[in-house]
Structure 1
């Protein structure tokens, strides 16, 4: 069965973005970026792949899920961020024609959607963001891969944003890799 992986950058205080949805306080260069380009190529937007001359092989992921705000954060650059992946934007208020062909906007129950996607053959399913979608899918997430950045935002979008009703869950640390940039990539598997 395919896994749902919440792979996301996060601050030391558990924020995936500042209050204005910006994430530019996270280091945009350093040795952790080399690792992302080498090992997580499937998560690099098409614009970045093209500029860097890279090709995503979809060996890690072939599907991406994101909330509307996460999708909208990249609209200044492109309306089709991951054409190499099957893209789902979850929104109950946006029409299907709000995005280019090849991207599915859906107001479906995210848990139902993920359970259906997990039954299909293929590579992993990447939960790109945001925090509200992650909270809704908390019980379906199989792995957390956190790019912990050496910055405290003080406020902003939490890793899991459900208004304070999140239930504690236990995770096993699979690996943790520190980088000279100060970023630590920590991977956790759900405790059965």
Structure 2
């Protein structure tokens, strides 16, 4: 039995994902905190971040870079809630929001009754990833949530920055036709924006 090109890409992604997640889990907690804090510092210095009305972010899971220090900044945030095959974005404020709760995948997410984010108010999307390549393509967890989201008309053209540790910024990632390219990448070493 021969694999289709799509199946071959998916197998390569799965093997790469497994190796990179294992490496991320091996980062000692103190080093993980330092690297996460450096990522937050780079983002805080970015005009795109400081001038944004609403920023979509995420709650760290499985040793993803931790953006929780940023979430304490008084502004309008959007946090994701997974519902079936879609991401629903809810408004979240450092004070005054309903408490976060554990969702279907064990990830902290907004309460279902929290107000929804209107796409037209969003100026920046911070995208979690297992890895990104130097052209801006992202290796996610395999569910396709962000690729589907970023293909929807309401979200096309919103600035996107992949959030990863430097070890996961790779020369090239296997890419499928539906994979969406990010505008930039932020690691503990700095911010990298993609040339067109």
How high is the TM-score relative to the length of structure 1?
Answer: 0.38
Higher strand share: 1
